[in-house]
Copies of this chain bind each other. A is one copy, B any other.
């Protein structure tokens, strides 16, 4: 059974650790469900309880966790706070990360004002655009800079993540510039299959792809 999970791409075969990337992609889900249980005053949870809320099997959760250590107690389950903290540490969510946005059109502006990044420790600290009419203008709290400033700003502001919100035909070029500037993680909203070196990760956000495969099932549904 498929499970809620983002789509992450890299260049040709590349896994730093020996932990399957499909496991890494599930960890944030566990963090999120643990936050739910924490909010509901649970002290301990079993793999069964976690699995229930994610529609997966308890065994898979236990196996996933076992890649990183032994966090549970037999007969008792997992300490909610402890496991959440461990997973956050493993994922690097115990610190904050700076990102830059490329493309401040309609979509880019929506991304800048999206309130979901901040509380998770992601901060958009720079914005770039190719359109000279936009450069210098204020978007949110940010001044829009030209693409040429990417390398300098990335270095100066310790930006590790690039968010791409430009039209499809410009996306690959922008991604190349980000990679050249040392960016190794890209959140890509453009509808393209980006080509990147093996040590760069790309997470694609593409609502249309989701819709386009669901219509297959709608068309063939009985009832």
- Chain A residues in the interface with B (C-beta under 8 A): 1-13, 16-17, 21-22, 24-25, 27-29, 31-33, 53-55, 90-93, 97, 99, 106-107, 110-111, 113-117, 120, 122, 160-161, 184-185, 187, 191, 193, 195, 199, 201-223
Cross-chain contact B207 with A185 (CB below 8 angstroms): no
Copies of this protein chain in the complex: 2
B92-A211 in contact (CB<8A): no
Contact: A215 with B3, CB < 8 Å? no
Given A2-B10, A117-B208, output 4 extra A-B contacts at Cβ < 8 Å: A4-B204, A27-B213, A28-B208, A185-B218
Docked CA distance A195–B3 (Å): 11
How far apart sit A222 and B209, CA to CA, in the bound complex (Å)? 33
Asked whether, in the complex, the Cβ of A16 is within 8 Å of the Cβ of B220, the reply is: yes
